[in-house]
Amino acid sequence: MANDIVVDTAGLDMNNIPEHIAIIMDGNGRWAKAQGKVRTYGHQQGAETLKTIVKAADKLGVKVISAYAFSTENWKRPVTEVNFIMELLSRYLTNEIQDFNDNNVQVRFIGSRDGLPEVVRQKMDHAIEETKNNTGIILNLAINYGGQAELLHAVKSIAAEAVAGSLDVAKIDNQVVEDHLYTAGLPAPDLLIRPGGDLRISNFLLWQIAYAEIWTTKTYWPDFTPDHLVDAILAYQGRERRFGGLIEK
């Protein structure tokens, strides 16, 4: 994962780079089918694309990439595909650790550990431990993640603290909720990117993307390039972020 990638920054305002970019890595299976390959081949290529995009984002000054790797709904897919994805995650979290460290990438995870194979959970813990002191871009992988499940988890945690008397109900505000989300401590995404052509957010970071700019492309994730990333950021820079208010001219 040596960061030798070249990114064309022509036209970009390097003082207005999104701090946190969320990505729904969609279209792996359809891409593979278009190549005459099995769906698992698409997931493998999608993992390679993620490595490239993390490098490109790092060069551009992005601080966090949150990548939707496996959702709570993905368990509904064929067992062979789910098993392959779990094996791919295990290999990825084994083979890339040295390169993560070489490139100062810190790895984090969001989602529930329940139901994940023990080997995957061990690899996740190992990746966190081995990269925790890195100070560069954060790669935040969403594994067994669902936005509704995350909110439910936060509500239950807050309710438990209120019942125990350690949290005053009158003091529950946005910050309290955010402190109980999987993403606690991370800035909210500025930009949500969805390849693959679909126009939905698919239960991803429902609270966090309240005011994120959304950029979509019909390009499938395995074909997503640093140029696409630049195009998304250029679109982001061309928008006015009003956060529900008005901008005085």
How does pLDDT run across 177-193, given as a tens digit for each residue? 999 999 999 999 999 99
Average confidence (pLDDT) over 207-236: 98
Taking the alpha carbons at both ends of the chain, their separation in whole angstroms is 45
Cα-based distances in Å from 3 to 10, 89, 97, 230, 246: 19, 21, 14, 17, 40
Average confidence (pLDDT) over 149-167: 98
Burial class (CB in 10 A: 0-12, 13-18, 19+), 165: exposed
Query: In the predicted model, is pLDDT for residue 1 greater than 80?
Result: no
Q: Across-strand partners of 8?
A: none
Average confidence (pLDDT) over 30-42: 95
Per-residue pLDDT, 248 = 61
Q: 77: which 2 tokens? A: 């897919």
Residue pLDDT, tens place only, 54-103: 999 999 999 999 999 999 999 999 999 999 999 999 999 999 999 999 99
> Who wins on pLDDT, 209 or 247?
209
Residue 50 dihedral angles phi and psi, to the nearest 5°: -60, -40
104 is catalytic: no
Per-residue pLDDT, 2 = 47
Per-residue pLDDT, 3 = 57
For residue 40, name the pLDDT band (cuts at 50, 70, 90): very high
Residue at token pair 């994805």: 85
Per-residue pLDDT, 156 = 98
Q: Cα(41)–Cα(21) distance, rounded to whole angstroms?
A: 25
* Catalytic residue, candidates 3, 74, 101, 134: 74
CA neighbor of 112 nearest in space, from 78, 48, 81, 157: 157
Q: Is residue 109 within 8 Å of residue 128, measured between CB atoms?
A: yes
Query: In the predicted model, is pLDDT for residue 135 greater than 70?
Result: yes
26 is catalytic: yes
Which residues are within 8 A (CB) of 63 and not within 5 positions of it... i.e. 6 or more apart?
19, 20, 137, 138, 187
Per-residue pLDDT, 5 = 86
Per-residue pLDDT, 58 = 97
Per-residue pLDDT, 240 = 85
* Catalytic residue, candidates 8, 13, 15, 26: 26
Domain ranges across the chain:
20-105+114-146+188-237
For residue 27, name the pLDDT band (cuts at 50, 70, 90): very high
Cα-based distances in Å from 31 to 22, 114, 195, 221: 21, 30, 11, 8
Q: Does domain 20-105+114-146+188-237 have CATH number 3.30.70.870?
A: no
Per-residue pLDDT, 247 = 59
